[in-house]
Structure 1
Amino acid sequence: MSQPQKGICAEPNLHAQYLLFNVVDDDFPAMRQKLSRLLDIFEYFDEEHYEAMVSGVIGVGANFWPELYPNAMPQELSAFPDMQCEDRCAPVLPCDLFIQIRADRLDICHAIGIQVLELLRVHVELVEQVSAFRYLDGRDLTGFMVTEDNPRGMKKFDISIVGDTDPEFRGGSYIHIQRFRHDMTRWNALSLRRQEAIMGKTKEHSLPLVDTGRSSHTFRTKLTGPTGDYPSLLKQSMPYGDMLVQGLFYVSCANNSKSFREMLYSRIFGDEMGHYDRLLDYSNAETGAAFFAPSIQFIKKSATEYGDEIA
């Protein structure tokens, strides 16, 4: 049985640490073993601090995958879709590894992050680190709910985990990330009615508006998956920020990569009538990357199947 990484379908947490790395040497045998040891770190903290609800995700970048795991590649793994239309864009951040750490204790997220960095230090450079948090009752800093349309129960696994369509990578998940930066000054200057029209739902209770409009965020992101299912993405997004910079670290998990590409196209290019996601007038993506998070069994097996040894 191929067991998905725990962090893919874990329940929401209070804190998150997102780490993005590029690998700077070609000691791929050591990297394969160390990714397996990362799973041990997650498991140790989960058992030692069970009340913190620790979970982790290891994602391997689309461009780095053939070097790290040259024997096979997930069927739909491809580079992040670089899109631009007028002043709306989805920039690409070249990145080899994505590590997501989540817990209900900030100190535990920090402690795990330090151990991850220590383990990988000689092989990687840290491209970006983002600390995120749960805001109020699960809202973005814009004041609207973030992931209220996520699937529930076993439906989460159906949406986010690869099944029999790609047997070698059963239990894995396609991960796409974007770091958005909000223009909170301009956003807060809008009336409540205008904010709700842009989002396509009410602010307080997240109820859909009767006429959302084809340019609302809700309309442009409400797409079905390849088999007609909605939602087609499991989102693990959380807000981040300080007194000067605020935004959303977007993370989506899916059993395919097509759903994210179609959603991103809908937001940026919109339709032939010029309807795009108006939220992008107030929130700009500054990074973007595509990864595959293989099953626990795949990571552990790949660490030993070549007879690799760390010196």
Structure 2
Amino acid sequence: MPQAQKGICAEPNLHALYLMFNVHEDHDEEVRRILAQILNIFDHYDDEHYEAMVSGVIAIGSNYWMELYPGFLPAELAPFPDMHCEDRHAPVVPCDLFIQMRADRADICHAMGTAVYDALKPHVELVEQIKGFRFLDGRDLTGFVDGTENPKGMHKLDVAIIGDEDPEFAGGSYIHIQRYRHNLSKWNQLDVPHQEEIFGRTKTDDIEFASEMKKPFAHTKRTNLKDANGNSIEILRQSMPYGDMKEQGLFFVSCAKSPQPFTKMLESMIFGDAHGNYDKLMDYTTAETGAAFFAPSVDFLKFQGMS
């Protein structure tokens, strides 16, 4: 099977740098070549600073894919699902390239980001740059542990990496990103029991409520979904908090072997169930960006970079 990019299923890190780019017109050939070279940048820093647990992901926007790789189309590649209900909105802010770099050292993330940007700079516009960081013991800035429902061990591969269902793109992964801005002033006015009711699990110990004890609007209720056969609908989250003294939030990253799980979860959060029970966490955080990408295998990126 083709080699998946290391950063898709990597273990959590202390630091991340997320870069979003738009490619200048008629620079596609150069970008194909440089993306393959960026893999070498990741490998170099991984080899030189192995203790920092370096990883990276290169993903191509759904809107840009056919320009960069005409004639090659992942089976389920689709635009980001634009959703709006009352004051809840999952906006679409498409961009051509998403590059994620993570490490246990902030300086290594910075050095990798500088090298990546220097390589791409003549051919792209930098749309957004976000620095992610680990908060306490892996918590979101709301104070709750993030990624509790993530698949563990080898099950990550089953959830996040394409296999025989799309052989031409085996080793790839569908990526969705959203930058959420939290209203922490409003959130922190709630007492802990109310916050726990909204999440559907305890804040300090990260113990999930029994299903029958969860409110229908609880975050865990709205995101822990089952298919028609009773199987869990899963994604692999690679999200991290970000922020400064003026603005804080979560940079959400979803990796999956199909875009459908993310779309179903987002629908459940924003539109809710048949009774209108949406995810109450949406009252305290706002998605300001949203984009869909595909992260092809290492083999695909290298082969296309030579053609």
Q: TM-score, normalised by structure 2?
A: 0.97
- Counterpart residue identity of residue 220, structure 2: T
SS in 1 for 2:232: coil
Change (3 A) 1:229 1:7: farther
SS in 2 for 1:247: strand
Shift of 1:101: 0.3
**5+ residue gaps in structure 1?**
306-311
Distance (whole Å) between structure 2 residues aligned to residue 226 and residue 232 of structure 1: 14
Distance (whole Å) between structure 2 residues aligned to residue 280 and residue 14 of structure 1: 26
Shift of 1:25: 2.4
Cross-structure match for 2:203: 203
SS in 1 for 2:16: strand
SS in 1 for 2:289: strand
- Listed as ranges, the matches of 1:13-24 within 5 Å are 13-24=13-24
Cross-structure match for 1:245: 247
On the 8 A contact 1:149/1:231 being kept in 2, the answer is no
SS in 2 for 1:139: coil
Change (3 A) 1:293 1:226: farther
Distance (whole Å) between structure 1 residues aligned to residue 231 and residue 258 of structure 2: 12
Distance (whole Å) between structure 1 residues aligned to residue 230 and residue 128 of structure 2: 36
Shift of 1:226: 8.2
SS in 1 for 2:131: strand
On the 8 A contact 1:225/1:259 being kept in 2, the answer is no
Shift of 1:193: 0.6
On the 8 A contact 1:180/1:283 being kept in 2, the answer is yes
Q: What root-mean-square deviation, in Å, do the aligned CA atoms of Structure 1 and Structure 2 show?
A: 1.1
Cross-structure match for 2:140: 140
Q: Does 1:302 align with 2:301?
A: no
Shift of 1:9: 0.4
Distance (whole Å) between structure 1 residues aligned to residue 166 and residue 17 of structure 2: 30
Change (3 A) 1:299 1:226: farther
Cross-structure match for 1:230: 232
Give the paired residue count. 305
| CA deviation vs aligned residue, 1:100-146 (integer Å, no higher than 9, x gap) | 00000000000000011100001110110000100000000000010
Cross-structure match for 1:165: 165
Cross-structure match for 1:308: none
- Listed as ranges, the matches of 1:180-191 within 5 Å are 180-191=180-191
Shift of 1:244: 1.2
Distance (whole Å) between structure 1 residues aligned to residue 131 and residue 229 of structure 2: 35
Cross-structure match for 1:81: 81
Distance (whole Å) between structure 1 residues aligned to residue 36 and residue 306 of structure 2: 10
- Counterpart residue identity of residue 4, structure 1: A
**5+ residue gaps in structure 2?**
none
Q: Percent identity?
A: 58
- Counterpart residue identity of residue 96, structure 1: D
On the 8 A contact 1:82/1:92 being kept in 2, the answer is yes
On the 8 A contact 1:214/1:220 being kept in 2, the answer is yes
Distance (whole Å) between structure 2 residues aligned to residue 304 and residue 237 of structure 1: 32
